[in-house]
């Protein structure tokens, strides 16, 4: 049974959190928090997503706030550092925000950046982590096939753990995986799973070696666990630049997976200049704990979104609730 919309609106808090570094084209992250009988939850689809796509995010928020979490098999989750599209001289300061992390995910293919910029950034990360560190790159599907092939060749010297979403379509992923197979660089799928009507299509097409799963976009912890079980592919659990409340949802997903081969992208609270709790889920010793997060009332007030943005989110919640109810 869905909670009544009035119940959701009665606990909803909308925040706008500043970022340390511009990321994904934004300088602040907006999110709507809800309090259910199981604890606080988060509904924070990116503002450009339509109501139909946002509905899966609301399913996830309702499941996390109104249903017990599945059984877990680990108490801490190893996480990676996330390096935005910064200049090489800024890499060290970014990595310093992720103490103990042995793995770094580096954003590439950003607007205005050249392949030479990407190579320089990845080289700086590899130098900072040393030969024992793990380096993965994420293109967010922004390369075409030929660009992806050229880039993977150029970046392969840095001993990549994998390349995440080099191209956008499943057919392109399958083709780039075929073209670069001899280099031994695995292909991971993110957008082709979380933004697809059929999240299993990537696996059926043989288009990826690894799946990147995010609890909110996937429709909740149980939906993501189902995708993992049905594909049988290794999984990296990641965040969607959530507050610590949303990251907790991802941590419970990672903790419930039978196997967790890769460090997870759940250290992104370190990209926030502020959070909703005085005890954010930031990495310590390269990992984060699996626990619920209780927001601080003072921080909810301090970082409350403007009245206009609050109204925008509440109206969005009401619209998406109708999609879910239908």
For residue 281, how far is the Cα from the chain centroid? 14
Sign, Cα dihedral of 317, 320, 324, 326: positive
Together in a domain, 21 and 99: no
Does residue 187 share a domain with residue 38?
no
Residues 47 and 137 both lie in one domain: no
Percent of the chain with pLDDT over 90: 96
pLDDT tens digits, 81-100: 999 999 999 999 999 999 99
Q: Give the CATH number for residue 135.
A: 3.20.20.120
Question: Quick one: 275 and 321 in the same domain?
Answer: no
Average pLDDT of span 195-216:
95
What is the number of domains present in the chain? 2
Q: How many CB atoms lie under 10 A from the CB of residue 79?
A: 34
* 51 annotated as ligand-binding: no
In this predicted model, what pLDDT tens digit does every residue of 3-37 receive, in sequence order?
999 999 999 999 999 999 888 788 999 999 999 99
**Active-site residue flag, 107:** yes
Sequence-distant (≥ 6) Cβ neighbours of residue 297 within 8 angstroms? none
pLDDT at 320: 98
Across the range 116-134, mean pLDDT stands at 98
Q: Please compute the mean of the pLDDT values over residues 159-170 and round it to a whole number.
A: 98
Percent over 70 (pLDDT), the chain: 100
| pLDDT at res. 253 | 98
Residue 138 labeled ligand binder: yes
- Count helices and strands in the chain by DSSP H and E runs: 13, 12
Same domain, 100 and 214: yes
Phi/psi at 153 (nearest 5 deg)? -60, -45
**In this predicted model, what pLDDT tens digit does every residue of 229-266 receive, in sequence order?**
999 999 999 999 999 999 999 999 999 999 999 999 99
Shared-domain flag, residues 86 and 56: no
Q: Of the listed 13, 35, 97, 107, which one is catalytic?
A: 107
> 105 catalytic, yes or no?
no
Judge if 213 and 93 occupy the same domain: yes
Alpha helices in the chain (DSSP H): 5-11, 51-66, 91-95, 115-129, 145-155, 170-179, 191-194, 201-204, 215-218, 221-231, 244-256, 297-302, 307-325
Query: Do 94 and 204 have their domain in common?
Result: yes
Annotated binding-site residue? 159: no
Catalytic-role residue among 13, 121, 194, 214 = 214
Q: How high is the pLDDT of residue 22?
A: 84
| CATH number reported for the structural domain that contains residue 35 in this entry | 3.30.390.10
> What pLDDT is attached to residue 24?
77
pLDDT, residue 256, reads 98
Give me the domain span that covers residue 42. 5-68+297-325
- Are residues 14 and 103 both part of a single domain? no
pLDDT of residue 207: 97
Count of other CB atoms within 10 angstroms of residue 248: 28
């Amino acid at each position: 049974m869905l909670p009544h919309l009035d119940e959701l609106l009665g606990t909803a808090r909308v925040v706008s959190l500043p970022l340390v570094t511009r990321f994904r084209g934004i300088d602040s992250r907006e999110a709507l928090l809800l309090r259910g009988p199981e604890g606080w939850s988060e509904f924070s689809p990116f503002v450009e997503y339509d109501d139909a796509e946002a509905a899966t995010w609301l399913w996830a928020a309702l499941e996390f706030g109104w249903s017990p979490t599945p059984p877990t098999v680990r108490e801490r989750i190893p996480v990676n550092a996330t390096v935005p599209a910064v200049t090489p001289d800024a890499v060290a300061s970014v990595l310093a925000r992720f103490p103990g992390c042995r793995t770094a995910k580096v954003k590439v293919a950003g607007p205005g950046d050249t392949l030479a910029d990407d190579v320089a950034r990845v080289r700086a990360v590899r130098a900072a982590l040393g030969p024992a560190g793990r380096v993965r790159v994420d293109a967010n599907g922004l390369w075409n096939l030929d660009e992806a092939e050229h880039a993977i060749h150029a970046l392969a010297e840095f001993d990549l753990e994998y390349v995440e979403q080099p191209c956008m379509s499943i057919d392109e992923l399958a083709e780039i995986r075929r073209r670069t197979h001899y280099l031994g660089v695995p292909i991971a799928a993110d957008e082709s799973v979380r933004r697809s009507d059929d999240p299993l299509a990537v696996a059926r097409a043989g288009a990826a070696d690894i799946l990147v799963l995010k609890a909110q976009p996937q429709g909740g912890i149980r939906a993501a666990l189902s995708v993992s079980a049905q594909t049988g592919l290794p999984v990296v659990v990641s965040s969607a630049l959530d507050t610590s409340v949303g990251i907790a949802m991802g941590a419970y997903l990672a903790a419930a997976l039978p196997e967790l081969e890769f460090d997870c992208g759940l250290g992104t609270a370190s990209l926030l200049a502020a959070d909703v709790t005085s005890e954010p889920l930031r990495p310590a010793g390269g990992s984060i704990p699996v626990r619920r997060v209780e927001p601080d009332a003072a921080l909810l007030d301090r970082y409350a979104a403007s009245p206009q943005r609050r109204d925008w989110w509440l109206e969005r919640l009401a619209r998406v609730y109708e999609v879910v109810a239908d």
